[in-house]
Amino acid sequence: MFVRKPFLWKCLGRWVFARSLSGGSGSRLDLAGIYAPITTPFNQRGEVNYQQLEENVHKWSKIPFRGLVVQGSNGEFVYLSSEERVEIVRRVRQVLPQEMLLVAGSGCESTEATVTMTQSMADAGASAVIVITPYYYRGRMNSSAFVHHYTRVADSSPVPVVLYSVPGNTALELPVDAIVTLSHHPNIIGLKDSGTDVTRVTLIVHRTRKQGFQVLAGSAGYLLPLYSVGAVGGVCVLANVLGEPLCKLEELCLAGQWVEARELQYRLVEPNAAITRKFGIAGLKEAMEWFGYHGGPCRAPLLPLTEAERKELRGDFMSNGWL
């Protein structure tokens, strides 16, 4: 089975958690840890602001993350051109310390486009790719279609592949039976599950752990429960602004300090819900400005928060002691 052994090592003047994998089918890239699924800064003309992107990455690189997820849902990748998607990954890799993983979103609607984008992301410096489920023709996206799609992508990918199920955006879930089948592929190493069903994730961990398959929580709102059932980390929107507390929560869970972990988890639930379900990317970018990052505008058609929404968002952070 899959064993995580936390130990401390010093890197660039800071202590971070490292982990090892033992057992499973061969040696796989170790995903364990906390990731920020980073945003894409735009200027007022709607152009990608690469200077602000690089400044944000410099700040995130000082937090003991395992890495960054670039061109996930919070990166507004559906509003970017293919060239912008690849260039953003290339710029982040230039700034991000080499020991930190860069997991790049390479999912497209067609299998052929995803294969091409995956190769481009690898060429730009991605350590691994995270591939969202195709969803436009969701009525025909069954287990067979998903297994065929992901197998084709993983067969041709020069870097490891992480599955990505995000029903809040796609209105479908990657079926458990498809995940179990795909967990046997030597180049498919894990799953980010952004649903809200802890029972489902527990079942996935149970049915895939012998393959060394790694499950990442898709939200800070249920990070503790998923650590308790065997998840190895989280890709959490809230890490864009509260990265240090999320890494502390990880540390507490790995140390078995569940009482302290629970108290910290309580304080993260409301701000997490505010920048995900309630206000989305516009809320996240607003909060980033409060914490010293470049948030800025979203790309149209997304609109900024109203003044009333901004006030409510601030209250969610203040009432939990973060502002």
**What's the confidence (pLDDT) of residue 89?**
98
The predicted structure's pLDDT at residue 275: 97
* 3-class state of residue 131 by DSSP: strand
Per-residue pLDDT tens for 250-271? 999 999 999 999 999 999 999 9
Query: What does residue 317 show for φ and ψ, rounded to 5 degrees?
Result: -80, -40
pLDDT of 28 reads 86
Please state the separation of Cα 283 from the chain's center in Å: 18
Answering whether pTM is above 0.85, one says: yes
Candidates 62, 192, 210, 285; catalytic one:
192
322 vs 245: CA distance, rounded Å: 10
Q: Structural domain boundaries of the chain?
A: 7-277
278 has catalytic annotation: no
Residue 72 is encoded by which pair of tokens?
């996930």
Residues constituting the chain: 323
Strand partners, 191: 163, 215
CATH number of 7-277: 3.20.20.70
Return d(Cα 73, Cα 106) in angstroms, integer: 11
pLDDT at 18: 32
Examine residue 301 and say whether the peptide bond preceding it is cis (omega within 30 degrees of 0): yes
Per residue in 134-159, pLDDT tens? 999 999 999 999 999 999 999 999 99
- Judging by beta carbons within 10 Å of its beta carbon (0-12, 13-18, 19+), is residue 22 exposed, middle or buried? exposed
Q: What confidence score (pLDDT) does residue 27 get?
A: 65
Which segments in the chain show pLDDT lower than 50? Answer: 1-26
